Structure 1
Amino acid sequence: MPVPTYGHRMWGVSMHERRAYRHARRAERWLAAALLLAAPAAARAAIVLSANDGHTVLGPSMSLSAAPSPVPDTLSVIDLTDAAPRIAATIEVPTSVVGPPTAVWVAPDESWAIVTAANRADPSAPSGLAADDLVSVIDLTAKPPRIVQQVHAGAGATTVRVSPDGTLALICNRVAGTVSVFSVHDRRLTDVGPVMLAPHAGPGGLVFSADGRFALVSRFFDNQISVLHIDGLQVTVDPRPLTAGVAPYTMDVTADGRVAAVANMGRGDGDADTVSFIDMKADPPRVVATHSVGQTPEGIAFSHDGRILATALINGTNRPKDAPGWHAAGRLVLWTITPQFGLELLAEAPIGRWSQGVAFSPGGRLVFVQNMVEHTISVFRFDGRTLTPGAPLSTGGAGPAAIGQAATR
């Protein structure tokens, strides 16, 4: 029989009975909390997607060439729910290593994804490769995942990102010098039209602000970063560009949207290159710091708590052996971000050659790096101070070229 109560007061019972009741209620609360923690998680099941290019290789002169025996491009689903990550499914999806390794977007609930293709095999082209504009929408709930829609963006379609409210998709077209705008409804894309930057801008990386009112796009060929103002489906280019470094490329933004980072690729002549931080809360947004990080930081990614920046350095592995700065292996370097936008070396480890994208697991205990030459994905365990290599994941005959996980921006 329940003890009579009124508000927080108890009537008609002794002090001993009151204490016993309070102890019983406290035990009930502890038990409920324990059962809640022990119950299966209802949250998403943590995956990472790897888009793998089967038609592009480094030729004898270390320039992009068509693969002598091309294989289909693929998309691999890496399942993080077990103790050891595993590739749970691989399907054929057109993609490309050309452009930043951010040609994959994954919905926050992991139910669908978008993958772009910047080039394709073309025997009639001088290099055997031609620009592409294909965009594929993937249903990740299907068993196995499958393509449910394909649309066309602009030539050299690379980085794809969807606005925080899920209504707008932007795709950088590296060859066309444009950003394609698509409306998003019911996991489908509808073409709104392109926004012109400049014919030789080379748009590559892109991030949204936390409120979706603007986006930043890096311009590889003319060394600028453009601010795109967003009002519904209308996207316009701010006349004031940002200046970060030479050849700004891959971009990422912290989960809270406060800070963005851009990798400045330099000239690719063996010199050390840089990463710049952009204060996204400033009005207007502006570059606030630039730091040397090593050769060719193709892959960059913030940890989910925004405290660590990972850089996957190609480190001269895509250059001839007699070239300045050549090395036999790339480098994964983790940096602690200081309150004043500084970088402090935290941990580093060797990786493969011509490495591309980098990603953290949701808890930050795993770090993944794509190695194009080896057709593998390096897997490191990270304890907060040390990177410990684990068994790499194989992507078969196609090289891992772009990486994506559940999007917060």
Structure 2
Amino acid sequence: MLNRIILASCLLAASPGAAQETILAVGLEADARLVGSDAVPPERIMPDQVVFFDLVSGSLRRSGTIDVPVSFQGPPASIAITPDRRLAFVPAANGRVADAPRTLVPIDTLSIIDLSGDAPRLVQTLRLGLAGTSATLSPDGAMMIVTHADDDSATILRVAGKRAEIASRLRFDKGSRPLAVAFLPDGRSLAITFAGSNRVALFRWHGTEIEPRPFREISTGLYPASIAVCGNTGYAVVGNYGTVSGDRDTISLIDLRAEPARAIDTVSVGPSPEGVDCSADGGFVVTANQNMSTIDRADPRYSPDSEVVLLAIRDRRLVVVDRAKIGAWAQGAMFVSSDLIVAESIEDRRLHLFKRMNDRLVRLSPITFENGGPATLGRSPG
């Protein structure tokens, strides 16, 4: 009975006139399915999509769908939404092209979607010249940073009206593989994960450009891929994805207020934590472990399930408090509110929902998609 009550409070349509609180974007990857340990296009060719949900008065409601390219490559939290909730930006790093429909190749698309009308509408398709692995908006929504892991660079874009234009590019050390960007609460700096060089670097931000050299480099764990800032607590968390070897990988807690900023705790969570997020109050962390579900089934390390892991931040430490299994090939996990969590499985094409009740994950009915598996996420700021 408890699960039914929770489900009703989280998923039923909101009453007319309720104020919109949060937009959740879910990118559906239709171009890839697992065959052994390889991601290959399926026989039935369908368009990638982004599905939008409104969280209104505590209820999650599907509000629109649009066909645009998405990609499972890169940090799962790669869709950016403006502070006024009027635009969404969707990068795609790989996909099918007309002359090679059965092969996944690098692409360089950034789709800009107008959310202000009755239905999502594509207003610009920008070619970046390089495959973009994540898109992150500045707090004021006026600038955007798109990382290019394969090129060891980032593109800085200017956002005005309903369009974006390339302002500049910044190159990093060869082989550093920049993946995820997070603007820090001080408004003057940002953090970038460099998976190839196993570090998180802090850079000065001047409103329209990044200083080319970091002012601080932090060692967290092996292949740091995703990062989330924990509200105004002064903490950030980093998911250290590892090498998909079957070894247990880690989440690190960074104290941004320390002099100098540094990692103050790193805990084992399981194989390959793909996405990581903090609750708005900074008290809890969630991650989605791929958990060796993307390797060949004949391999003795193979697992049929991914895993959602809930952690608490207590006394400047990370504490694992609960776990739950979901379908294979997990991508992102995200707090939609302080107690509603979503987690993606590409393989079973489901967005898994959980209610956080204190230190417990209470499973809700998942949302199943037809076109593809959920691979990327985005949440409106605030």
Please give the secondary structure, in 2, of the residue aligned with 1:234: coil
Unaligned runs of 5+ in 2: 1-14
Please give the secondary structure, in 2, of the residue aligned with 1:71: coil
Alpha-carbon distance change, 40 to 92 in structure 1, aligned in 2, over 3 angstroms? closer
8 A contact 2:310–2:361 mirrored in 1: no
2:32, 2:135 → 1: CA distance? 20
RCO higher in structure (CA 8 A, sep ≥6):
2
Alpha-carbon distance change, 391 to 223 in structure 1, aligned in 2, over 3 angstroms? same
The aligned residue for residue 94 of structure 1 is 69
Equivalenced residues, count: 367
Task: Indicate the structure (1 or 2) with the bigger Cα radius of gyration.
Answer: 1
- Asked whether 1:172 is paired with 2:147, we answer yes
Alpha-carbon distance change, 68 to 237 in structure 1, aligned in 2, over 3 angstroms? farther
2:78, 2:328 → 1: CA distance? 20
1:316 Cα deviation from its structure 2 partner: 1.1
1:325, 1:374 → 2: CA distance? 20
The aligned residue for residue 113 of structure 2 is 138
- Asked whether 1:266 is paired with 2:272, we answer no
Structure 2 residue corresponding to 1:159, chosen from 125, 131, 134: 134
Alpha-carbon distance change, 216 to 50 in structure 1, aligned in 2, over 3 angstroms? same
1:126 Cα deviation from its structure 2 partner: 11
8 A contact 2:310–2:321 mirrored in 1: yes
Question: TM-score when scaled to structure 1?
Answer: 0.84
| Structure with more of its chain in strand, by fraction | 2
1:292, 1:320 → 2: CA distance? 24
1:257, 1:148 → 2: CA distance? 37
Alpha-carbon distance change, 237 to 276 in structure 1, aligned in 2, over 3 angstroms? farther
Alignment RMSD: 2.3
More divergent stretch after superposition (369-378 vs 386-395):
386-395
Structure 2 residue corresponding to 1:380, chosen from 342, 348, 354: 354
1:131, 1:303 → 2: CA distance? 33
8 A contact 2:143–2:208 mirrored in 1: yes
2:185, 2:25 → 1: CA distance? 23
The aligned residue for residue 128 of structure 1 is 103
1:326 Cα deviation from its structure 2 partner: 2.0
1:84 Cα deviation from its structure 2 partner: 5.5
Question: TM-score when scaled to structure 2?
Answer: 0.89
Unaligned runs of 5+ in 1: 1-38
Structure 2 residue corresponding to 1:302, chosen from 278, 293, 318: 278
Name the % identity: 28
The aligned residue for residue 11 of structure 2 is none
1:98 Cα deviation from its structure 2 partner: 0.7
The aligned residue for residue 279 of structure 1 is 255
Structure 1 residue corresponding to 2:230, chosen from 245, 254, 258: 254
8 A contact 1:103–1:117 mirrored in 2: no
Please give the secondary structure, in 1, of the residue aligned with 2:378: strand
2:138, 2:313 → 1: CA distance? 26
8 A contact 1:272–1:295 mirrored in 2: yes
Structure 2 residue corresponding to 1:78, chosen from 43, 50, 53: 53
Deviations 1:240-260 (A, max 9, x none): 532211111011111226211
4+ residue segments displaced more than 4 Å: 39-43, 123-127
Please give the secondary structure, in 2, of the residue aligned with 1:128: strand
1:353, 1:205 → 2: CA distance? 23
1:303 Cα deviation from its structure 2 partner: 0.8
